[in-house]
Amino acid sequence: MSTLLRRTASSAAVASAILSIGAIAWEIEQSDDPLAHEAAKASLMTMGANHGARSLIEDIRTIEGLDTPIDGQGLTLLSTVVELNQAITDLGANVNETEITVALSNDILFDFDKAEIKPIAATELEKLGLIIREKRTGHVVIIGHTDATGSQSYNMRLSDRRAKAVKNWLIQYAQINTEVIKTEGLGETQPIAPNVKADGSDDLAGRAKNRRVDITIQSQETFK
């Protein structure tokens, strides 16, 4: 479109020049006619100093401006990509070709022996919600884990309640479809660190690592 308008402007400028030359020639040929002389001068003054070419160029510049992003949509898209990458980094997510896995500490999400999401956990869960919305193509699996404190049956129930609490938060605040989220509680059955030290004393750091919620986000459809 811009090329066509430039050609139109060039043609208009040429036509204006021809018209100007014609007006001047008319002025010379009809120099003894005062009315013709005044008509030629009025015609040139009407077209302006640049014989109309400048106004056409300004119009073209205005139309070319339509090529710029509307309402900053390009910046918004860039911002979303940056925020997504930052969320993946902040949560220490593991990304591969088919899925994204995130481990959230129970100590951040819940108070001791509770299954209600703490208000301070919102920041972490908002980042998780962003990753799910932008990268999910299949299911999201949320699995709760505990350390070995307490009975196995109690820990199984507590871990299940905590996994469901994370699911409910994502549905309510991150607008994730309930049908794509599956939950499970595994209690203390899958530790990733020792619960006790070699001398039999509590391994506090190990227990903290075991108190977690694992989230797996399917990012590529691998089954029907």
pLDDT per position as a tens digit, 101-112: 999 999 999 999
Cα distances (angstroms) measured from residue 185 to each of 144, 188, 191? 5, 9, 13
- pLDDT bucket at 49, cuts 50 / 70 / 90: low
The stretch 24-49 carries a mean pLDDT of 57
At residue 19, the pLDDT reads 46
pTM of this structure = 0.66
Closest residue by Cα to residue 130 from 74, 84, 164, 62? 84
Share of the chain above pLDDT 70, in %: 64
Confidence of residue 80 (pLDDT cuts 50, 70, 90): confident
Q: Report the candidate in 210, 215, 133 with the shortest Cα–Cα distance to residue 174.
A: 133
pLDDT at 163 over 70: yes
Q: What is the mean pLDDT of the chain?
A: 80
- For tokens 């938060």, name the residue: 169
Cβ count near 56 (within 10 Å): 19
